[in-house]
Each structure stands twice: as structure tokens, then as C-alpha cells.
Structure 1
């Protein structure tokens, strides 16, 4: 019995990983919090040096666990480098709160870049999404689509800005424990809320572009039909 046409195409679409899966799934979101928790707990009981090695060890353990379980390694690898940079800064500053310094300033930089992209009328939410999916720049030529991506980009900029303001204040106040809590609470949970705005912008843009394409195709079909009718007439009819 032959399979209906389009079955393979549907299977490919179903097999395409979701955004959550690309980030490592739910387990990946949990794993990303482990080195931070380990760092704070070990620092409280055994000091900075032990906390640094503990956070690095937990990051390596997570990578090994992902390898054994045949899960995507990319989130674990990028997470390890993030922890390594944070641990190095903590070591150089000689302070536990230094572990969070890289993330604090990275939030400011990311927020500034996202905000600047809106000001130059190339919102990064639209640029990144359409580059990754290879859908071109038609969205940029459609003002309502671009405005939707402006809102999504500003939502992401707001997330990064809020992270910087809150965590910078906690850093200056020497609240290392609260810094860890803020880093986790304002991490993926807050990022997920901004992604909802991105999803809204993507669906809105896709719907508009599809309607525009269908309208254009209908106009071309009508034009072709009119030309065929015109040239199919006999001289007497003309």
C-alpha cells in the first residue's frame, strides 16, 4: 500500500526540533542552573576556591551526563564555557560575587544591541529568525511585520535591561545569594516570556506575508487569463 503524497514532507516537519529542544529541552534549562547553585552552596561552606572547582566540576558532569544519555551537547558545551568565564573572573577578583559579573555586563551589551537594532530599523528578532529559517527579507519590506518584530525585539531588550539593573544592584549590595536567585529566576523563565512575544510576531508576519503572496498570485493569474482571452479572440471579434 503506497503512502499518500506529502507524507515524507509531513514527517520531516514533525521531526524538526522545536526552539525548546534546540535549547536542550526542560532538562537543559534545569542543568543550566546547577553550576550556579553549586557555586553558591559550596562557597557558603567551603570558600571561594572550592566553589570555583565545584561549579566547573558540575558543568563537566552535566556534559558527560548528556553524552551518556545521547542528548544534544551544544547547550552543555556553551554552558561550560559560560561557567568557565564566570569562574575565572571570580578567581581574578577574589570575590564570590565576581562569578556573576560577566553575565551582568553581558546583559547590558545584549540589551543595547537589541535596542540599537530597532533604532536602525532592522530588529534583531526578525533578522535572527528569518536568517535561521532561510526565509529572506520579505518581512522587512512589510511595515506591519517589521513593527511586530520591533515589539518582540524590544521585549528581549527589556529582559536584558531588567537583568542588568536588578543584578547590578545586588552585586553592588554584596548579596551573592540573591544574585544566584536572580540569575536563575531572571534567566530562562523571563526569557521564555519574551519568546512568547517573538512567537506572536513570527505568526503575525507569516500570516501577513502569506496573504500578500496569495494576493499577488491571484493578480498574476487574472492578468494571464485576461491576456489569453485577448489573444484568443478572432480578428472579427476584435
Structure 2
């Protein structure tokens, strides 16, 4: 009688790799999708005027949202991207100027930069807080100074990114340089985000390494305590 073949152990859900920060934000496709409505708006506005530019950008945003839903990609970035374009288009329509399309992004950069800076000042760097929340981790890293400093550096990198975006794009907005506003929006998007993401990866790895060291130390202490209890228990 033949023995049944042994079952191959399937990895538990807990063993599945955590999605990366980039994946949680929509992945590379999300970054690409976010630039398409901007390009469409600028081109349509230059060729056919503001109204056509606004509706073209909204139409493309709708198509991208539907495409992402059909492809079963992350829904949150798709929805937030659509509303971002819709609000930008609304502002452009209300101001009657193409440069109004970029006003939301300009002021958003200022607000985000201020919030990230404040988080460092109150010793709760947002990069660490957000990463821990996204991955279901605790906040024990806040008690470890090197880990907190690493997240401080990553958070301050984002502060620098948002500050650079605000200063440059606000100046272009005041100078009515709509075409260059689009160039700055795209040029200061992926490259600066890549730098901030690289620093974030470094901070996460450093904090993870520190946590592993702490856990190893705590385990060693428990073993020492067990040996001491066994020793004094035998001599008593």
C-alpha cells in the first residue's frame, strides 16, 4: 500500500511579505497615472483653451480611475487621484486661469511640509508613525533614540521636498509661467520622491535592525533570569 504524498506546507498569511511603501501608495503605475492628467490639461489648454483643458483633464482622470478599478489595483490612490484632479480643475475654473490648476498642489505642499516638520518637533516623526500604522507595527521605536533619529532624518527629507516644491512652484505661479509650472510639477515629483523614498527605506531598515537587537537583548535577559532562578532554587 503506497503512502500518500506529504502535503506541501503552504505559507500562512502572516508569512506573506508586507507590501512596500511604494506599493501602498499605488506603485510605479500610480506615479505615472498622476502625471497624465497634468500633461493632458496643459496640452489641451494650450491648443483649445481653458474649458477644454479642464474637461480633458477630468475625462482622463475618470478613465484612469475606471482602468485601475478594472485591473483591480489599489482603489484608494485611484479615488484620491481623481478627486485631486477634480478639485484642481474646479479651482482653475473659478479663477478663470490655467495656473489655478496647480494652486491646490502648491498649498498642499506647504501644509504637508508644516505637518511633517511639526511631527519632528513633537518627537513623533510622521515617517515612522505612518510606516508603523501601515504595517501594523507598534510604536516601540520611539523609545529607541537611534531609531527615532533615523525617522527624524527621513521625515525632514520630506519636509525639504515639500518646501522645495512650494517655493519653486509658488514663484512660477506668481510669475504666470503656467507651462513651467507643469514642468516643475513633474520634475519635482518623481526625482524628489525617489530621494525621500530612499531615505525612508534606510530609516526603516535601521529601525528594524535596532528592534531585532533589542529583542535579542531582551531574550538574553530572560534566559539569564531563568538560570538564576534555577540556581537559587536548587541551593535553597
Match for 1:85 among 60, 84, 87?
87
Counterparts in 2 of 1:60-209, with a 5 A limit?
60-209=62-211
TM-score (norm 1): 0.92
SS in 2 for 1:2: coil
**Displacement of 1:107 after TM fit?**
0.2
1:3 correspondence with 2:5? no
What residue in structure 1 maps to residue 33 of structure 2?
A: 31
1:152-210 Cα offsets, whole Å, 9 max, x none, are 00001000000001101111111111111111111133112101111111110111111
* Aligned-pair CA distance for 1:12: 4.1
Greater Cα offset, 117-126 or 35-44: 117-126
CA–CA separation in structure 2 for the residues paired with 1:228 and 1:31: 63
1:215–1:11: structure 2 CA closer, same or farther, 3 Å change rule? Answer: closer
CA distance in 2, matches of 1:38, 1:103: 17
* One of 218, 221, 224 as aligned partner of 2:223: 221
Provide structure 1 residue ranges, at least 5 long, that are not aligned to the other structure: none
Q: Secondary structure at the match of 1:216?
A: helix
Greater mean deviation of Cα atoms: 66-75 or 156-165: 66-75
State the shift of 1:3 in Å. Answer: 2.7
**Cα RMSD over matched residues?**
1.6
Name the counterpart of 2:234: 232
For the residues of structure 1 that align with 2:74 and 2:150, how far apart are their CA atoms?
Answer: 32
> Structure 1 residues 157-166 or 189-198, which shifts more?
189-198
For residue 42 of structure 1, the aligned residue among 41, 44, 47 is 44
Residues in 2 aligned to 1:216 and 1:22: alpha-carbon distance in whole angstroms: 32
The separation in 2 between residues aligned to 1:72 and 1:205, in whole angstroms, is: 27
Displacement of 1:131 in angstroms is 2.1
Q: 1:10 to 1:77 in 2, by over 3 A?
A: closer
- Structure 2 residue ranges without an equivalent (≥5): 1-5
Work out the number of aligned pairs and report it: 231
Write the distance in 2 (CA, Å) between the matches of 1:71 and 1:44: 32
CA deviation after TM superposition for structure 1 residue 31, in Å: 1.0
| Deviations 1:88-146 (CA, angstroms, capped at 9, x unpaired) | 10011000000000100110010011111111111111111112222212100111111
Give the whole-Å Cα distance in 2 for the aligned partners of 1:27 and 1:201: 25
